Structure 1
Amino acid sequence: MDKMVAEPENTLRSIAVTFLKQVGMHAQARNVAKNPHLEHMSPLELVEQLKKFNVTYTIDIPHQDQLEDTHYPFIGITSSREDDGEYHATLFRRSGKTFQKQTPASRRWQAVDFEEISQFSHIVVLESIPSKQLSVRTFVKEVNLRKKWYWPVLVLTFMSTLTGLSIPLFTMSVYDKVIGGHLVEVLPELGMGAAIAVFIYVGARLARGYILSKVVTEFVREISNVTFHRLIHMPLTLLARVGITNHINRMKNTERVRSMLAGTVGGSMLDLPFVIIVLITIAVLAGWLVLVPIVMILLHKLVSYLLTKFTNAALPAIYNEHQDGITELSKNILFLKSGGNAEGWIQRLHRLNRENSRQNFMFAKRNGLYGAVSHVMTMITGLVTIFVGIFLVLNHSITSGALIACVMLIWRITGPAAMVLSSSLKIDMLKSAVAQFDGFLTVQTENNELRLDIPDMDSAPAVSFKGVTLRYDAESAPALSGVEFDALAGDVVAVLGPNGCGKSSLLITTLGVLEPQAGYISLNGRNIRQYDPQVYRTWCSYSPAETQLVEGSLADNIRFQKPSATDEEIVAALQQAGAHALLELVEGDIHAPIFAACNIMLRSIDAEAISLARVIVSDSNFILMDEPVAAGNPTVKAAFIEFIKSCKGTKTLIFSTHDQHLLPLVDKVVVLDKGAVAFAGPLPEQAPVENQGEANA
């Protein structure tokens, strides 16, 4: 607390706290003020906190026009850390047509000019704050954030449409004046004008394509980031229930949006409203001949509507099941190869492949028919225009040059129209993707205003389990059933039981990754669901049963747990964890590349030592370890025994094990059987055996 009081009032962290209070987010402000990981907050950490609080924002260099429209206070941030190692910031707000800044000492507002605001390298502006009614228009909101590009794109499309008339009109003039009127002397002037128009046309198209690609790519990047951030912070139980294929499809949807909006379909959708200019030109040149493309477009729309329903009826319905089957096969390939009895799996995969191929063939066949009919309708439009135009030429209603120009202009109408109409299935898929995206964002994540407390990380916690019941799905037996026991601060607790009894589930639930359907877990008398999930899990040092090794060096693998660890801390942790063989292998160079993609699995025999070293280097006083010495490495086991002794009284350690030789070292033993507690208390040799009722008394 003294450090917080002594903290300068113009640091980014203190300004962020004031900023959140200004917009009524007091719980979030307390979270930022107490979070030990934000002691020297950077702009990137501020942005991550705003994402966690479901606040929409923009961060940019100062723009007066943008700031004059904002309704919330905004933060100006310096370009780099000052001499005190902090980013400094100032809180501003708009008051009518003027700007004001808050003086940190007095908390009063005083008028400032935009020139003072422009001295800051970045401005963080709030777009909206979270509300009880979740927004379902996030996709449209992201589109509207790029409104400044609307007019340039529309102007370039308008220019390309006008200049695109040059070639048909040039052709008409050549036929009617140069050939028909024998006015050869006007040909250079006509050619020069047409060349200039074509140059403008090409330039406008290229500029529009560049802007579209840039804006759509940035837009899709933001959508992908939002989707990924949302997936990361969704409850694990919900993610598992929805299925991995659906999550992959959500990420793929963003690429579909990019390819559609930045491709030919997006360009045709922009060109379509400007078709009216081409229709007016045809009406001026050929009178009622303009009715031909109008009628044919309406007929094309009717045919497209019918064909769309016909094609949609053949959409592959087995896609997700097929992808899930492939994913399941990839996960269990080692089991299948080692078991030797994979006939059932192979038959199932063959069935899925066969049905998936059949459904895709039916869809491709109907989609091909759709494309062929669309092409035929375009050809018919051109032919009807020619035949009707010949009749008008013979009646001297229009010139032959006007007819040729109208036929050329017809393609500028039927092209975009046919592209949009034939892409109606893609447009429907885009609408569905937008609806799925907005619906996906309404799903509650782990981050909300009720889970923003910061745990006391300065001392070992007391842990209490009260009737914890966990099911992975409604059909399966409970992984945990009414689990109740207590671990005092500084206790070392061993969890025993046969495979599948719920040991790993208990540890993961204690970590807060899985949420029980009944009961709760408390730390120091407070439900763990009240704590900020990110801060809580960073504090709790968790070692899974299967250690995840990463490509690189020993240092890279240890810093996986604590990125700020020094080389000296890493070496000390490895030595304490019994990893002497690994250190000898790299001749003491912890930065030598030892784990490569080709041998990372072969080196997993040393995973136990690395896992224990990660726990040691984290120096947390709350530790969860799943089967830390399952491989039976005697050196690592001896190191783990010493680690247990060092934890007693200073760190709360809960670990699962099958090794009964470790039990005399612990303060309490918990025996699980089919998810329920069969025994909880000290070993009988240490104290009278407590049954479960006495242990909870």
Structure 2
Amino acid sequence: MGRLLSAHRAAVLAIVCLQLVQTTAGLMLPTLNAAVIDDGIVAGNTPLILRLGAWMAGIAALQVAAAVAAGYLGAIVAMRIGHQLRSDLFTRVQQFSSQDVGTFGAPSLVTRATNDVIQIQNLALLAFTMLAAAPASFLGGIVLAAHQDLPLSGIVAAVIPLLAAVMVLIVRRLIPLYRQGQELLERISRVLREQIIGANVIRGFVRQDHEIRRFDAANRDLTRNNLASALLVARMNPLIMVVVNLSSVAVVWFGGHRIEAGEMRLGALTAFIAYILQILIAIMMAMYVFTTAPRAAVCAERIQAVLDTEPSIAGPPRGGLPPAPQGSAAAEAAPVAPAAGGTVEFRGVSFAYPGAEAPVLSGISFTAVPGSTTAIVGATGSGKTTLLNLLPRFLDPTAGTITLGGRDIRSLPLAALRERMSLVPQHSYLFSGTVADNLRIGGPAATDAELWDALDTAQAGDFVRRLPGGLDAPVSQGGTNFSGGQRQRLCIARALLRPAPVYLFDDSFSALDYVTDRRLRAALDPLLAAATVLIVAERVSTIERADQILVLEDGRLAARGSHAELMETSRTYREIAASQLVLEESP
């Protein structure tokens, strides 16, 4: 927050100056009013009344103008703080690896970037409303009230500690409620997200009643928490009003006796009442800030936790390659020539998730050269996707080293590394917008003709031409208005629009029928002839013409060779191929 305030230092100083003008004007009015009563009305001095009245009108107009200007600037600064916080959070989350995102959870990150930022923004707006006004009114009111009548100021000395005690008690009870409330808000967001995403599963297993009860439980807990905090804040207003009204009664009572005794003037009493009201209003304003501050403080802690989390995967520091993992072959390996070409080499690569009992990958070594296709097959859970995700550094190996063009990939900036790869992920995800918008993620400067060429190569041109609007046809979030096979083909077309020395296909053909699969592979072969291609596949027919096939079993490289070689030497590969060939040949 300090950094954000320093970025708007000039605006904050202007707000302080305007509020000091506003407060000074407000403090002058009761004194002038007292002079009007004592020296004007009581003495029957009409010219003095008119002159002081004109001064009071001018001061009041200045007070209103300063208040409006300060409020306007305060709103601008508060909104900009919210904008910057959301931007910083989004930028940081974009740097996170999938493991980092999983540490916080997607619902939590969404809540922190929306609701938590709004709470801080609201506190900033409230604070700027009284940044200088409340303290100046409080201190100025005490000094001027004591100047009007010192004995009567004892009422102020008794009221302030009472209000401070009320404020401390409320704030101490609010902080744990607000912290629990943010956790409950995350919980209900998580439950709602799961129920929306898994709606078909819930309906398929007829679990609607159970999920309704689960959501209702989360909703009730959040409601109880919000109600408890709201009632606590609501009790503050009656307590304050009781204290304010009793204080006013006491001032009038004791002030009346002092006027009757000739120890105080009537105008001084009216000025004293105005000052004590200003003091109490300043305290009320501060109490609103202090009751809002606990929630914002909890939100600020949660936001700061995200901003302080360094991405587990980052580019190299200035000065060279980061230290290699302990016990890895990379500890002795040094990068050679600058990265050039698309030769990919894995040397003794292993990977284990934090806290896992066993590694997902162990001692993987192979080389993929330009102009060749390397396929990766194996049973579900054998580590195929994990292996592919190590190359663009979505994950980092816990041992071993990976080189691209003879250079350790950890020595390359992440953007430079990933620009040399074109990826079709396992989950074919499309963004909301149009077909053209999604394709141009791969090639921002691509012409319509290039888009159609990529679609035709990916065997997606026919169905896109049938869409209303063609390239301008709408795409819903996640591409849910397309079938799985259509999404896969659109994602392949998107990847083809990004020329790169390395192409990664992560189970990108599984939703295609055999005929479309063959046509697509035939169209891709000449286009990717000079590139290094790595394919994760479940279907043997997709990769039987690959230059080398890696067979993974329990995270280890069980066999390596061509389709013909593996059919003779690898029992695991023969079993996979035999089961699929039977299915492919069946009517």
Same fold (TM over 0.5): yes
Distance 1:367 1:182 in 2: 48
The question of whether the paired residues in 1 share the 8 Å contact of 2:390 and 2:396 is answered with yes
Which residue does 1:501 correspond to in 2? 382
Tell me if 1:289 matches 2:124.
no
Question: What's the CA shift for 1:626?
Answer: 1.7
1:148-184 deviation per Cα after TM superposition (whole angstroms, max 9, x unaligned): 2343222211211121135423442343234322223
1:19-50 deviation per Cα after TM superposition (whole angstroms, max 9, x unaligned): xxxxxxxxxxxxxxxxxxxxxxxxxxxxxxxx
Greater CA deviation, 460-469 or 650-659?
A: 460-469
**Of 121, 125, 130, which residue of structure 2 is paired with 1:262?**
125
**Of 466, 481, 503, which residue of structure 2 is paired with 1:623?**
503
**Of 15, 18, 30, which residue of structure 2 is paired with 1:156?**
18
Distance 1:229 1:194 in 2: 52
| Paired AA for residue 214 in structure 1 | I
The question of whether the paired residues in 1 share the 8 Å contact of 2:419 and 2:500 is answered with no
1:330-388 deviation per Cα after TM superposition (whole angstroms, max 9, x unaligned): 32222212232455544433332333333333333333223432333333333333333
Q: Residue 388 of structure 2: SS of its match in structure 1? A: helix
Question: What's the CA shift for 1:240?
Answer: 0.8
Which residue does 2:461 correspond to in 1? 580
The question of whether the paired residues in 2 share the 8 Å contact of 1:316 and 1:359 is answered with no
Which residue does 2:420 correspond to in 1? 539
Question: What's the CA shift for 1:247?
Answer: 1.6
Which residue does 2:474 correspond to in 1? 595
Please show how residues 261-660 of structure 1 align to structure 2 within 5 Å: 261-263=124-126, 265-275=127-137, 276-315=139-178, 317=180, 318-319=183-184, 320-342=186-208, 344-445=210-311, 446-450=313-317, 459-464=341-346, 466-471=348-353, 474=355, 478-585=359-466, 591=471, 593-597=472-476, 600-604=479-483, 605-634=485-514, 636-646=516-526, 650-660=530-540
| Paired AA for residue 360 in structure 1 | N
Q: Residue 680 of structure 1: SS of its match in structure 2? A: strand
Question: What's the CA shift for 1:191?
Answer: 2.1
Q: Residue 544 of structure 2: SS of its match in structure 1? A: helix
1:374/1:482 Cα in 2 relative to 1: closer, same or farther (>3 Å)?
Answer: farther
| Paired AA for residue 626 in structure 1 | D
Which residue does 1:206 correspond to in 2? 68
Distance 1:579 1:277 in 2: 75
Distance 2:527 2:566 in 1: 19
Distance 2:147 2:6 in 1: 37
| Paired AA for residue 536 in structure 1 | L
| Paired AA for residue 372 in structure 1 | P
Please show how residues 677-696 of structure 1 align to structure 2 within 5 Å: 677-685=557-565, 689=569
Which residue does 2:331 correspond to in 1? none
Which segments of 5 or more consecutive residues in structure 2 lack a partner in the other structure? 322-334, 573-587
Q: Residue 558 of structure 2: SS of its match in structure 1? A: strand
1:573-628 deviation per Cα after TM superposition (whole angstroms, max 9, x unaligned): 222222231353259x754x212449952324422322222222212120111222
The question of whether the paired residues in 2 share the 8 Å contact of 1:490 and 1:647 is answered with no
Greater CA deviation, 569-578 or 462-471?
A: 462-471
Distance 1:548 1:649 in 2: 26
Question: What's the CA shift for 1:491?
Answer: 2.6
Distance 1:517 1:581 in 2: 45
Which residue does 1:666 correspond to in 2? 546
The question of whether the paired residues in 2 share the 8 Å contact of 1:304 and 1:422 is answered with no
Question: What's the CA shift for 1:281?
Answer: 1.9
Question: What's the CA shift for 1:397?
Answer: 1.8
Which residue does 1:16 correspond to in 2? none
Q: Residue 678 of structure 1: SS of its match in structure 2? A: strand
Distance 1:354 1:595 in 2: 39
Greater CA deviation, 559-568 or 520-529?
A: 520-529
1:341/1:145 Cα in 2 relative to 1: closer, same or farther (>3 Å)?
Answer: closer
1:195-247 deviation per Cα after TM superposition (whole angstroms, max 9, x unaligned): 11111011111111122122232233223222221121123211211222332
1:214/1:532 Cα in 2 relative to 1: closer, same or farther (>3 Å)?
Answer: same
Which residue does 2:101 correspond to in 1? 239
| Paired AA for residue 539 in structure 1 | R
Q: Residue 423 of structure 1: SS of its match in structure 2? A: helix
Distance 1:608 1:616 in 2: 12
Distance 1:297 1:246 in 2: 40
The question of whether the paired residues in 2 share the 8 Å contact of 1:494 and 1:666 is answered with yes
| Paired AA for residue 683 in structure 1 | H
1:112-138 deviation per Cα after TM superposition (whole angstroms, max 9, x unaligned): xxxxxxxxxxxxxxxxxxxxxxxxxxx
The question of whether the paired residues in 1 share the 8 Å contact of 2:342 and 2:531 is answered with yes
Q: Residue 482 of structure 2: SS of its match in structure 1? A: helix
Distance 2:379 2:213 in 1: 33
Question: What's the CA shift for 1:256?
Answer: 1.9
Question: What's the CA shift for 1:424?
Answer: 1.7
Distance 2:432 2:359 in 1: 37
Which residue does 2:325 correspond to in 1? none
**Of 146, 156, 179, which residue of structure 1 is paired with 2:41?**
179
Which residue does 2:328 correspond to in 1? none
Which residue does 2:577 correspond to in 1? none
Please show how residues 18-97 of structure 1 align to structure 2 within 5 Å: none
| Paired AA for residue 256 in structure 1 | Q
| Paired AA for residue 292 in structure 1 | I
Which residue does 2:89 correspond to in 1? 227
1:515/1:416 Cα in 2 relative to 1: closer, same or farther (>3 Å)?
Answer: farther
The question of whether the paired residues in 2 share the 8 Å contact of 1:269 and 1:420 is answered with no
1:639-692 deviation per Cα after TM superposition (whole angstroms, max 9, x unaligned): 432245336762111112222112321011122344443333322448974899
Distance 2:461 2:170 in 1: 70
Distance 2:490 2:347 in 1: 30
Q: Residue 603 of structure 1: SS of its match in structure 2? A: coil
| Paired AA for residue 363 in structure 1 | S
Distance 1:552 1:311 in 2: 43
Q: What RMSD, in angstroms, separates the aligned Cα atoms of the two structures?
A: 3.1
User: Normalized against structure 2, the TM-score is what?
Assistant: 0.84
The question of whether the paired residues in 1 share the 8 Å contact of 2:346 and 2:367 is answered with yes
| Paired AA for residue 662 in structure 1 | T
Distance 1:357 1:599 in 2: 32
Identity across matched positions, percent: 19
The question of whether the paired residues in 2 share the 8 Å contact of 1:460 and 1:650 is answered with no
1:172/1:304 Cα in 2 relative to 1: closer, same or farther (>3 Å)?
Answer: same
The question of whether the paired residues in 2 share the 8 Å contact of 1:490 and 1:651 is answered with yes
1:162/1:598 Cα in 2 relative to 1: closer, same or farther (>3 Å)?
Answer: closer
Which segments of 5 or more consecutive residues in structure 1 lack a partner in the other structure? 1-138, 693-697
User: Normalized against structure 1, the TM-score is what?
Assistant: 0.72
| Paired AA for residue 534 in structure 2 | I
Q: Residue 2 of structure 2: SS of its match in structure 1? A: helix
| Paired AA for residue 660 in structure 1 | V
Query: Of Structure 1 and Structure 2, which has the larger fraction of its residues in helix?
Result: 2
1:482/1:353 Cα in 2 relative to 1: closer, same or farther (>3 Å)?
Answer: farther
Greater CA deviation, 313-322 or 398-407?
A: 313-322
Question: What's the CA shift for 1:537?
Answer: 1.8
Q: Residue 165 of structure 1: SS of its match in structure 2? A: helix
Question: What's the CA shift for 1:436?
Answer: 4.7
Q: Residue 521 of structure 1: SS of its match in structure 2? A: strand
Distance 1:354 1:434 in 2: 25
